[in-house]
A and B are shown apart, each in its own frame.
Chain A
Amino acid sequence: AQSVTQLGSHVSVSEGALVLLRCNYSSSVPPYLFWYVQYPNQGLQLLLKYTTGATLVKGINGFEAEFKKSETSFHLTKPSAHMSDAAEYFCAVSVIERQGAQKLVFGQGTRLTINP
């Protein structure tokens, strides 16, 4: 079964600093990988996704992520943090299993705080 682990439940960076949110996955079949963002009292919205092809994926609001199969990782980065990036971020993996199950599974989430 697939699973997702996000390293660090809280990350705090200064405005203008690099943002790095870590995500590792396990999957017995090729995964589809996603990053979602959740602002307070709202549902989740898609930041970016990896399906096939180029391993460096660019998303909205200046975020990008790199799929590294050898490391089973899909870390999220942004070169320069902005106050509006403060939110909770979720890494997710979707897999169509051989038995037919189709699941979108989320990590535990990382709360990003931006310091002025």
Chain B
Amino acid sequence: NAGVTQTPKFQVLKTGQSMTLQCAQDMNHEYMSWYRQDPGMGLRLIHYSVGAGITDQGEVPNGYNVSRSTTEDFPLRLLSAAPSQTSVYFCASSYRVFTEAFFGQGTRLTVV
């Protein structure tokens, strides 16, 4: 059972480049979310989805885009990378928002 799989684990981007962070889960969870983790700021919610075809903004959505075409996949797109987006990104999934969340291993992104 793979759980939540994030790719890539590490990425270096130049300012202005775009990229997609991949997230897939095999637990048939309805709720999926993306967070960024920065020192001293905990995890901040970027976007979330309550099911296929439904997404909504979290606390820090600017500069990021998401879509949810299937239950399993929830990719996060950086439209035009900026140094302020240097962070560790975590994808999580749960059956519902109030049930246990399972996290991927994270993607460490550096924007230069």
Which residues from chain A sit less than 8 Å from chain B, CB to CB? 6, 9, 32, 34, 36, 41-46, 49, 51, 90, 94, 96, 101-109
Report Cα–Cα, A54/B40, bound state, in Å.
Answer: 32
Report Cα–Cα, A44/B56, bound state, in Å.
Answer: 22
> Which size bracket describes the interface of B in this complex?
20 to 34
SS class of chain A's interface: helix, strand, loop or mixed? Answer: strand
Report Cα–Cα, A8/B18, bound state, in Å.
Answer: 37
Report Cα–Cα, A96/B104, bound state, in Å.
Answer: 23
Would you call A101 and B103 a contact (CB within 8 A)? Answer: no
Q: How far is the CB of A41 from chain B (nearest CB, A)?
A: 8
Report Cα–Cα, A46/B33, bound state, in Å.
Answer: 16
Report Cα–Cα, A51/B96, bound state, in Å.
Answer: 12
Would you call A108 and B41 a contact (CB within 8 A)? Answer: yes
Contacts of A105 in B (CB 8 A): 45, 59
Judge if B53 is at the interface, Cβ distance under 8 Å.
no
